[in-house]
């Protein structure tokens, strides 16, 4: 079946009918005014499920304090607190804040991010990390090929495009933040650097309160063993890098390389002895067909997780992948066992949540 056409459905689960009629019959003054839109008049009861829109009045009760995602009109004498983002209301004691449904990535020091070079300047690169501002990667914050430790010379500046050029992907760590929220990255570890042998995908990153997307976790990069599936010959592995910014890289695992490599490996001091000579290569290795297929499967699992509003972290991806392999085994006859969208994605996540 090449095409699936679905009926449109309401995004949020509809509230029970009787609740609406009940609030109507109360007959009291509608505090929300013209924005009620079938929402129960008393927000306090259903605060978790309702969505605030920017500019919407949350409360005018003076006992509340305003938190993130809210504002008060300056100069106005009233204590009206309004929402400044679209999201769900959260209350912490007397603090009101609105958690945005989706937001751009706000970098924090130490975050592992996947980024794409968008601009090459004289001594630095500008990197798209999905934030409001481009991050920057100074020439001095990368490893030179071969692990040589020396000052960056003019020759290096002239050759800056041989390290990273426009469009290339890299995995890096946030080293420093500016006042405006812009990040400075570094790749001074063998775990970081240019990415190859795989596919890129972008999902919601941290900052969104919608539930889905990549969350900050203990380990953002891990290796997935795909030799458990009987179709895969040999012991192939897949690296998954879940950038905190929601950019994800799924690639073939190469021993001793990549962000998922063991941290007990060679450190910065022993770079020159290590194997990481091809950190700036843009040539892919020969990738077995099985590995490609499993990479596509992992990508499908992550897409299904995001579409169904589940968080994306190591545990969920590994579980989801195992579940997807099981699903593929069950329906070996049908052709499209790799496709995890639509109905199959729902089944997958249902199985995951049900565990």
Q: Quote the least distance from Cβ 298 to other proteins, whole Å.
A: 10
- Round to whole Å and give the CA distance between 296 and 106: 29
Pairing of strands 198-202, 247-252: antiparallel
User: Which one, 3 or 122, has the nearer CB to other proteins?
Assistant: 3
User: Which one, 169 or 226, has the nearer CB to other proteins?
Assistant: 169
**Tokens found for residue 205:** 């990153």
Q: Quote the least distance from Cβ 70 to other proteins, whole Å.
A: 28
Q: Are residues 101 and 51 in contact, defined by beta-carbon separation less than 8 angstroms? A: yes
End-to-end CA distance of the chain, in Å? 30
Pairing of strands 198-202, 213-214: unpaired
User: Which one, 23 or 349, has the nearer CB to other proteins?
Assistant: 349
Q: Quote the least distance from Cβ 222 to other proteins, whole Å.
A: 20
Instruction: Tell me if residue 223 falls in helix, strand or coil.
Output: strand
User: Which one, 20 or 307, has the nearer CB to other proteins?
Assistant: 307
User: Which one, 82 or 242, has the nearer CB to other proteins?
Assistant: 242
Q: Quote the least distance from Cβ 5 to other proteins, whole Å.
A: 5
Smallest Cα–Cα separation from 238: which of 318, 319, 349, 326? 318
* Three-state SS letters, 312-342: ECHHHHHHHHHHHHHHHHHCCCCCCCCCCCH
Q: Quote the least distance from Cβ 150 to other proteins, whole Å.
A: 11
User: Which one, 233 or 284, has the nearer CB to other proteins?
Assistant: 284
Q: Quote the least distance from Cβ 275 to other proteins, whole Å.
A: 5
- Round to whole Å and give the CA distance between 35 and 33: 6
Q: Quote the least distance from Cβ 261 to other proteins, whole Å.
A: 15
User: Which one, 95 or 277, has the nearer CB to other proteins?
Assistant: 277
- Round to whole Å and give the CA distance between 31 and 36: 9
User: Which one, 33 or 167, has the nearer CB to other proteins?
Assistant: 167
Burial of 290 (0-12, 13-18, 19+ CB in 10 A): middle
Smallest Cα–Cα separation from 219: which of 200, 241, 234, 238? 241
User: Which one, 87 or 115, has the nearer CB to other proteins?
Assistant: 115
Q: Quote the least distance from Cβ 78 to other proteins, whole Å.
A: 37
Q: Quote the least distance from Cβ 61 to other proteins, whole Å.
A: 38
Q: Are residues 49 and 68 in contact, defined by beta-carbon separation less than 8 angstroms? A: no
Alpha-carbon dihedral angle through residues 325, 330, 336, 340, given to the nearest 10 degrees: -50
Q: Are residues 60 and 79 in contact, defined by beta-carbon separation less than 8 angstroms? A: yes
Question: Which residues here bind other proteins, judged by CB under 8 A?
Answer: 1-9, 116, 118, 145-146, 148, 158-159, 161-163, 165-169, 194-201, 275, 277-287, 289, 292-293, 296-297, 299-300, 303, 307, 335-336, 338-342
Instruction: Tell me if residue 181 falls in helix, strand or coil.
Output: coil
């Amino acid at each position: 079946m090449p095409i699936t056409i679905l009926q449109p459905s309401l995004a949020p689960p509809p509230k029970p009918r009787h609740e609406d009629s009940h609030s109507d019959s109360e007959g009291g003054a509608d505090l929300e005014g013209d924005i009620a839109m079938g929402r129960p008049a008393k927000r306090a009861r259903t605060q978790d499920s309702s969505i605030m829109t920017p500019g919407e009045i949350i409360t005018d009760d003076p006992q509340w304090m305003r938190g993130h995602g809210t504002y008060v009109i300056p100069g106005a004498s009233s204590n009206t607190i309004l929402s400044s983002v679209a999201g769900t209301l959260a209350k912490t004691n007397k603090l009101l804040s609105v958690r945005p449904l989706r937001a751009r990535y706000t970098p924090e020091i130490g975050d592992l991010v996947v980024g794409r070079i968008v601009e090459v300047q004289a001594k630095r690169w500008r990197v798209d990390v999905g934030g409001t501002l481009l991050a920057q990667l100074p020439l001095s914050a990368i490893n030179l090929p071969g692990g040589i430790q020396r000052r960056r010379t003019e020759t290096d500046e002239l050759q800056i495009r041989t390290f990273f050029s426009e469009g290339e992907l890299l995995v890096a760590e946030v080293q420093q933040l500016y006042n405006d929220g812009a990040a400075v990255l570094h790749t001074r570890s063998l775990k970081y650097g240019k990415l190859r042998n795989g596919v890129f995908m972008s999902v919601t990153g941290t900052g969104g309160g919608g539930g889905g997307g990549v969350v900050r976790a203990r380990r953002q990069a891990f290796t997935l063993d795909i030799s458990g599936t009987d179709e895969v010959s040999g012991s192939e592995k897949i690296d998954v890098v879940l950038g905190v910014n929601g950019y994800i890289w799924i690639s073939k695992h190469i021993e001793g390389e990549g962000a998922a490599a063991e941290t007990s490996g060679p450190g910065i001091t022993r770079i020159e002895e290590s194997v990481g000579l091809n950190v700036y290569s843009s040539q892919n290795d020969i990738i077995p067909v099985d590995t490609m297929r499993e990479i596509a499967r992992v990508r499908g699992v992550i897409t299904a997780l995001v579409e169904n509003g589940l968080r994306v972290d190591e545990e969920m991806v590994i579980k989801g992948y195992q579940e997807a392999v099981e699903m593929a085994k069950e329906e070996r006859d049908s052709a499209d066992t790799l496709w995890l969208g639509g109905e199959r994605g729902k089944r997958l996540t249902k199985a995951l949540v049900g565990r």
